[in-house]
Structure formats: C-alpha cells, structure tokens
A = this chain, B = another copy of it.
Amino acid sequence: MSILVVGSVAYDDVKSPSGSVKGILAGAATYFSLAASYFTQVRVVAVVGEDFGSEQEQLFLKRGIDIRGIEHAPGKTFRWGGTYGENLNEAKTDFTDLNVFEGFQPRIPKEYEDTEFLFLANIQPTLQAQVRRKMSRVRLTGCDTMNYWIKGALAELRETLKLVDVLLINDTETKMLAGEANLPRAASKVLAMGPQALVIKHGEYGATIFFREGAFGIGHHPFRAPTLPIEEVKDPTGAGDSFAGGFMGYLASQKELTREVLKRALFYGGVMGSFAVERFGTERLQSLTREEIDARFQVFRELTHLD
C-alpha cells in the first residue's frame, strides 16, 4: 500500500552539544518519507525553491520515494535554524525563513489520487483539511499539529480533526488542545474531537496510544511503547516526524488495522525516532536496512517485556 505525506521540505542549520551543521536537507516531509520508505511506497507533496536540484532529489530517489508531488517554485526553499542546549528536549529557534513555504498550496498529482494512507504533517489546519477532502480513496489519515495552530487557529484545527483517524502530538500539545492538565483526561477530550486514536509522544520516554471506545477493535486500554535510552543524541530535529514515518509506514504495510497492528506501529515509530537522533539531519535514515530496524525492534521489546 502507498502513503502520501504533505508537509515541509527545508534546509536546516542545527547546533547541538555534539556539533553543528549548516544547510542540510530536512523538514517534516523529508524525515517522514525517509522513515516510512523502509516499510512502504511513499509519495510526497511539498514545495521547494530554485536552490533544490537533482542532488537533493537523489536523497529521496535513492529510497524509492515518489517526488512527482514536490512543486518547484520561484525563490528559496524554507530555511530553519535552531540550537539545542544540554537539555535536548527543545530547540531554541535561531531563525525561520519560510520563503516559498509561506504560500504553500498543496497540489495533489493525478497519479497520487489512489493513495490509501495519508499523513498530514504540521501545516496550516485548513490546508490539511483541503488535502484530506481531495483524497477520496484514503483508508487512514494521520495528522500532526503544533502549539502555534492550537493557539492561533483552533477553530480550523477542530474542523480538521473531524477528518483525521490518528492524531500524533506531544504531551504539551495534548494538554493545550484539551485545556486539561491530566494526560488521560486530556486524551479523552481530544478523542471526542474526532480522531479514532491519539498518539502522545513523550520524547525520551516513548509514546502512548489512546483509543476511542470501539476503534480498531474492542477494549479501552491505552498502550505504551518505549524509546531506547541513547548515549549520544546528536540532533533531536525530526524525531517526531521520523516517529510518524515509522508508525504510518508500518500501518500502510499491513493488511488489517487491528489494535495489535497499531501497537506494533507504535514500537516501529519509536525505533525510527531513535535512529533519527543518532546523527545530524537525515543521515542515519538514509542508509538503514530493514534488518537493522527489526533488530532494534527486538531491543525495544526486550527493554519492556517480561519473559
């Protein structure tokens, strides 16, 4: 099964205690599509500027990613710069130059219209809803968002959430969206807004999936997957998008979407996020093998499973 991701392609400058890099190809759609490419056929809708050429295309093409949906616009590609301190949980943004991303109007190529899995990376909620409505054959839609839209475009975001099957956000975003400090109660409130399942990403502590009653099977228990305690986190940028890529990519590779499949997908999300942070930018995600991924899946299992 194929999956379509709609989101940003960007050049990043990143500083962390492990070093610094400038102008590396990044962005949510880039991290997502590389991570998902180990599980399924990936298609991308994004916009880039004149500073994106065949060298950058190779990053995607080597992983078999379909980039016919990457629009080339006059001007420069989105650029972002950030610095991580010793506490790697949050970046201080040094600059954000939206450039061609500012006027992004996602256009879905005809060849993409039969896509059955969709991931709406973090873009303006009304654009997310427009894309979802155009994709009439979609079986499952995943969605990301951020504090900026929760604060500034809540009404639009709530409309989008009615069209979404799985929302993937972090603890702070969940509490803010629900207006509720207790996490399981906040999760219930968010699920009442539309999604069948809510994946809450806890950074270095893993992630928890909460299900709507009756969604993807019976029962009402949440499920938690770990991340690996990593000795050297070089660059946390893109961890969440890589998580989403592993999670959605694994779902798109499965025949049936049962709770057990979603639980395994949560493990694969953690696995891909853990690989992403080991190197700057997308370096680690460019040259993995499915064997390495499944070996780490086993490590995650041993990390949490009693015999």
Residues A306 and B224 in contact, CB atoms below 8 Å apart: no
Say whether A105 faces chain B, with CB atoms less than 8 Å apart: no
Partner of A301, one of B263, B299, B306: B306
A303 near B223 (CB under 8 angstroms)? yes
Q: In the complex, what residues of B have CB within 8 A of residue A290's CB?
A: none
Residues on the B chain within 8 Å of A184, using CB: 229-231
A252 to chain B, nearest CB (A): 19
Q: Are B260 and A306 in touch, CB under 8 angstroms? A: yes
CB contacts (< 8 Å) of A231 on chain B: these are: 182, 184-185
List A residues 272-307 near B (Cβ within 8 Å): 299, 301-307
Collect the chain B residues with CB atoms within 8 Å of residue A208's CB: 229
A202 CB-CB contact with B under 8 Å: yes
CB distance from A266 to the nearest CB of B (A): 9
State the CA gap A182–B278 with chains docked (Å). Answer: 13
Residues of B within 8 A of A204 (CB): 183
Q: How far is the CB of A44 from chain B (nearest CB, A)?
A: 30
- A305 partner residues in chain B, CB cutoff 8 A: 304-306
The answer to whether A55 has its CB under 8 Å from any CB of chain B is no
A205 at the A/B interface (Cβ < 8 Å)?
yes
Report if A206 contacts B (CB, 8 A): yes
Question: Which of B202, B223, B307 sits near A260, CB closer than 8 Å?
Answer: B307
How far is it, in angstroms, between the C-alpha of A29 and the C-alpha of B49 when the chains are bound? 64
A63 within 8 A of B: no
**Any B CB within 8 A of the CB of A72:** no
Q: Is the CB of A304 within 8 A of B182?
A: no
Indicate if A233 sits at the interface (CB-CB under 8 A): yes
Q: CB distance A233 to B299 under 8 Å?
A: no
Task: Report 18 cross-chain contacts, Cβ distance below 8 Å, ordered by A residue.
Answer: A86-B181, A87-B181, A88-B181, A182-B230, A184-B230, A185-B231, A185-B232, A205-B205, A206-B224, A208-B229, A210-B229, A221-B299, A221-B302, A221-B303, A223-B303, A224-B304, A264-B306, A304-B305
Chain A positions near chain B (C-beta within 8 angstroms): 17, 86-88, 181-185, 187, 202, 204-206, 208, 210, 221-226, 229-233, 260, 263-264, 267, 299, 301-307
